[in-house]
Amino acid sequence: GAVVSQHPSWVICKSGTSVKIECRSLDFQATTMFWYRQFPKQSLMLMATSNEGSKATYEQGVEKDKFLINHASLTLSTLTVTSAHPEDSSFYICSAASGRETNEQFFGPGTRLTVL
Amino acid sequence: GQNIDQPTEMTATEGAIVQINCTYQTSGFNGLFWYQQHAGEAPTFLSYNVLDGLEEKGRFSSFLSRSKGYSYLLLKELQMKDSASYLCAVMDSNYQLIWGAGTKLIIKP
């Protein structure tokens, strides 16, 4: 099956620092990658959609200057949380779509970010 | 607006059967997904329905009625490890997933 990895699995950082999260599709080329955020006991919230080689499309209410997304290749997308604050503490999950007929998204294991 | 409704929480007994319902109203339809999510983990794919009817996969089955905007996930022979949240998601006309809030399923011995 399709495998998506995320790195790091968890990160603790000080307020005001930046954190980069990597999302990789290991055995397929991902035409589209998605970044989600999930707060405790809530559902997934789509932050942005990115296609390789083009700018990401951000959902309403998501600050593009704060959450920088780069999709440099068909197997790698990165999310950088700039000037992180405690309210950015959350579970960040990426998913990747190969564009095949099932439209299925394959999820990474998630990254738990804690901002002190 | 777009809306996905599913019960917040359900309780069932080990070995029994449980049905988790999902109703949706979306702009366009390109399939309905069910995902399982254990606490602190990312969702894992369970099923995909794009045509009306029942899809069976082992102990799990998923049903879709597009005319009614309705789906259910049926879990048979429940095991303790099935305790998790079950997320219903619909892919709209823009191929974006619209997520329900999830149903927390509690299995009791």
pLDDT in tens, B61-75: 999 999 999 999 999
Average pLDDT (A73-80) is 93
Determine whether the interchain pair A44/B87 forms a contact, defined as Cβ–Cβ distance below 8 Å. Answer: yes
Q: Which of B25, B12, B26, B41 is nearest to A112 (CA)?
A: B41
Note whether A16 contacts B: Cβ–Cβ < 8 A. Answer: no
Task: Specify the DSSP class assigned to residue A5.
Answer: E
Number of Cα atoms under 13 Å in the Cβ half of residue B70: 7
pLDDT in tens, B74-108: 999 999 999 999 999 998 887 778 899 999 999 99
Q: Which of B37, B38, B11 is nearest to B107 (CA)?
A: B11
Q: Find tokens 């309705």 and name the residue.
A: B70
Find chain B residues with C-beta within 8 A of A107's C-beta: 35, 42-45
Determine whether the interchain pair A107/B96 forms a contact, defined as Cβ–Cβ distance below 8 Å. Answer: no
Q: Which of B104, B85, B101, B100 is nearest to B26 (CA)?
A: B100
pLDDT in tens, B30-72: 899 999 999 888 899 899 999 999 999 899 999 999 999 999 9
pLDDT in tens, A13-23: 999 999 999 99
Size of interface A-B (CB pairs under 8 A): 42
A contact test, residue of B51, B97, B98, B104 with most A CBs within 10 A: B97
